[in-house]
Amino acid sequence: MSKVFSPTPLFERVERARRRRHKFRDTQITLAHGSGGRAMHELIEGLFLEYLRNPLLEKLEDQAVFEIGATARGIAGIVNNSHAQTRMAFTTDSYVVDPIFFPGGDIGKLAVNGTVNDLAMSGARPLYLAAGFILEEGFPIEDLRRVLESMRDAAGEAGVAVVTGDTKVVQKGSADKLFINTSGIGVIESPMHLSASGALMGDKVILSGTLGDHGTTIMIARGELELETDIESDTAPLNGLVQEMVDEAGSALAFDAIHCLRDPTRGGAATTLNEIALSSEVCIEIDEDLIPVREEAKGACEILGLDPLYVANEGKLIAIVAPAIAERLVNRMRQNRYGLNACIIGEVKAEPRGIVAMRTGFGGTRIVDMLVGEQLPRIC
């Protein structure tokens, strides 16, 4: 029989501290501010929102979702008489991964897939991408050809087109080989409203596959570990998998059964689950024994003293769904090449709010907090 997790004074103190918004007091940017973890969360909430706050941005999703005609009025004060109710999703991201070529992919494939996935997590069908390139003087043209070929192939698999872009060249030493910025837009055709604030008590937590593959691959590619393994980055477009999940929910007439989708990139699954718990004001409880991790990734993390829960992924998703449809969704996901190892890893509880807790293999329970500091800089 599984234990019932109940809040203790320690958990209650942590909950109060984490729900309290702190004023941003750092005086310099550090690598930790780009980790996807607590420092980045505080930078965005405490600084960027202070100056750029608006109803779409303050939701702190990985994309903005808006209705054509309605958003222009709300954000810019522009009157638009259109009655169109089409929902759109828009996102942007930048890629500075080092090295730019690694087993399973490269910076170009990563840029396309990452942008496609951010759109897909809103339930959108990705349509078009923009790509901006910052090239360092002296960068080999043959390497640029490889990156562009990879982007072309990734866009083809995802069913999107790169329709506009920009190119800048900076002096040698002013950048590191190649940085890529991408933006993407997609259309939301289902009635679902997916959000990190949508988790409900009793919901199940689904993970689409093994954790830590991308981060471990990058560590090994950098030569930080003298290991010979077959592990590759999991970078992949997840829009097809998401569409199958949406279709499955629709066939069950459960259009409101999928409450939240997120891809656990920087900061890993732990940070993503914490963001959902905070936004939804719930407790998310996961089971250590149910979390799939490849032996190669587990071994690499053990050598460096890392927890796979905090290691970046680029081809996995976390879904928070109604319990009645959870098993059905998992079965459908396992029919997709990018969901073969999908499984339920936990559930949503009411208390303590804003906390992620994990039942350990030893029968105890521990807090799983956001990533603190920078484990692996320039991971994507």
Nearest residue to 195 via CA among 255, 244, 122: 122
Average pLDDT over residues 77-99: 80
Q: Give me the mean pLDDT over the 70-95 stretch.
A: 69
Point out the least confidently predicted range of 8-12, 171-175, 289-293, 339-343.
8-12
- The last residue of one of the domains, among 168, 188, 208, is 188
Q: Which of 68-72, 265-269, 342-346 has the lowest mean pLDDT?
A: 68-72
Other CB atoms within 10 A of residue 273 CB: 30
CATH number (domain holding residue 201) = 3.90.650.10
Is 375:218 a contact under the CB 8 Å cutoff? no
Considering the domain architecture, whether residues 163 and 200 belong to the same structural domain is answered as: no
Whether the per-residue pLDDT at 227 is higher than 80: the answer is no
DSSP letter for 229, please: -
Say if residue 287 is in the same domain as residue 360: yes
> Sorting pLDDT into bands at 50, 70 and 90, what band is 78?
very low
Handedness of CA 96, 99, 103, 105 (dihedral sign): positive
DSSP letters spanning 126-169: EEEEEEEEEEETT--HHHHHHHHHHHHHHHHHHT-EEEEEEEEE
Cis peptide before 99 (omega within 30 of 0): yes
Q: How sure is the predictor about 267, in pLDDT bands with cuts at 50, 70 and 90? A: very high
Asked whether residue 219 falls in the same domain as residue 298, the answer is: yes
Q: What's the confidence (pLDDT) of residue 41?
A: 85
3-class DSSP state for residue 220?
Answer: helix
Could you give the count of Cα atoms lying within 13 Å of 289 in the half-sphere of its Cβ? 8
Residues 169 and 205 in one domain: no
3-class DSSP state for residue 18? helix
Q: What distance in Å separates the CA atoms of residue 239 and residue 121, rounded to the nearest whole number? A: 8
Measure the CA–CA gap between 257 and 251, rounded to whole angstroms.
Answer: 11
Residue 2 has pLDDT above 60, yes or no: no
pLDDT in tens, 184-212: 999 999 999 999 999 999 999 999 999 99
Domain CATH for 116: 3.30.1330.10
Contacts of 8 (CB under 8 A, 6+ apart): none
Of 89-103, 168-182, 191-205, 216-230, minimum mean pLDDT range? 216-230
**Quick one: tokens of 270?**
């732990």
Q: Give yes or no for residue 231 having a pLDDT over 80.
A: yes
Same domain assignment for residues 155 and 179: yes
pLDDT classification of 354: cutoffs 50, 70, 90: very high
Please report how many Cα atoms fall inside a 13 Å half-sphere around the Cα of residue 131, on the Cβ side. Answer: 27
Q: How far is CA 107 from CA 99, 114, 139, 178, 232, in A?
A: 8, 10, 14, 9, 14
Q: How many domains does the chain have?
A: 2
Shared-domain flag, residues 199 and 183: no
pLDDT at 228: 73
pLDDT tops 80 at residue 74? no
Nearest partner of 118 among 214, 205, 23, 182, judged by Cα:
182
8 A C-beta contact, residue 214 and residue 116: no
User: For residue 17, what pLDDT is reported?
Assistant: 46
Q: Is 228 exposed, middle or buried (0-12, 13-18, 19+ CB in 10 A)?
A: exposed
The rounded distance, in Å, linking the Cα atoms of 53 and 57 is: 6
Co-location of 82 and 176 in the same domain:
yes
Number of other residues whose CB lies within 10 A of the CB of residue 13: 12
Return the pLDDT at 91: 98
Most confident of 78-87, 151-160, 227-236: 151-160
Same domain membership, residue 72 and residue 205: no
Distances (CA, A) of 210 to 29, 104, 232, 262, 309: 32, 15, 12, 15, 10
- Structure tokens given for 339: 């969901």
> In terms of Cα–Cα distance, which of 238, 214, 241 is closest to 112?
238
Q: 48 in a domain, yes or no? A: no
Last residue of a domain, one of 188, 221, 236: 188
Q: Please give the residue range of the domain that contains residue 76.
A: 60-188
What tokens appear for 200 in the block?
């409900």
What mean pLDDT is reported for the chain? 90
CB atoms within 10 A of CB 45: 16
Q: Are residues 362 and 213 in the same domain?
A: yes
Give per-residue pLDDT as tens, 357-376.
Answer: 999 988 899 999 998 877 77
- Which of residues 188, 214, 242 is at a domain's end? 188
Residues 108, 169: one domain?
A: yes
Q: What is the pLDDT of residues 109-137, one digit of tens each?
A: 999 999 999 999 999 999 999 999 999 99
* pLDDT score, position 224: 64
Neighbours of 168 (CB within 10 A): 10
On whether residue 270 sits in a domain, the answer given is: yes
pLDDT confidence of residue 21: 57
Query: Among 210, 363, 200, which Cα is nearest to 283's?
Result: 200
